[in-house]
Amino acid sequence: MCILDDPIFALIARFVVDDIDNISISDEIILQYQVGEIRNYIENAPIEQQQQLALSWIEEHAERYRQECQRKAFSNIVLDKRCADCPLINDDSKSFCIIHSRWVVLLREYINYEISSDKYIEETLDLLNQHKTELKISAISSRM
């Protein structure tokens, strides 16, 4: 089971990812990367200070580092995933609709801390609002 700290990612996962329980963002892998970062951080310090420096690094950086690993792993999972029920594309191709293409840009900006969660939500809703007529027409015509 995947536990996402970021509420935006948790929301996206519910709607975009087919099988959320099979998303694997391994704590073991995150810890291995952290251990590597800690080793790099303490390697030039005297032996007697290394343990304290390692604990200081953990206190200061561990939670943020875990969240960063989650962001990267989650983005790798969802950025190229096409919505299964997209009414704007009626074939089995791997292409993306205009909404998805713009959404990917917004998501990348959010992942890279270029926009806030509020801005991401606002712009995503605005994007859907701009295309709501197309979505309605496509959804109706695909049922006929």
- At residue 74, the pLDDT reads 73
Domain range enclosing 94: 84-144
Whether residue 11 sits in one domain with residue 73: yes
Whether 28 and 99 share a structural domain: no
Looking at the structure, do residues 45 and 90 belong to the same domain, yes or no?
A: no
Report whether pLDDT(46) > 90.
yes
Same domain, 60 and 110: no
Q: Tens digit of pLDDT for each residue in 69-90?
A: 777 777 777 776 666 656 566 6
Give yes or no: residues 38 and 9 share one domain. yes
Is the same domain home to 95 and 109? Answer: yes
Domain count, the chain: 2
Residue 1: pLDDT band by 50, 70, 90 thresholds? very low
Task: Check whether residue 90 and residue 77 sit in a common domain.
Answer: no
pLDDT (tens digit, 9 = 90+) per residue, 49-67? 999 999 998 888 887 877 7
Helices (H), the chain: 7-16, 27-42, 47-78, 98-111, 117-130, 132-143
Domain endpoint, select from 54, 81, 108: 81
**Same domain, yes or no: 56 and 117:** no
d(CA 9, CA 79): 12
The secondary structure of residue 21, as a DSSP letter, is G
pTM listed for this prediction: 0.59
Contact in structure between 108 and 79 (CB atoms under 8 Å): yes
Cα angle at 133 between 129 and 139, to 5 degrees? Answer: 115
The tens digit of pLDDT for each residue in 92-117 reads 666 677 777 788 888 889 888 899 98
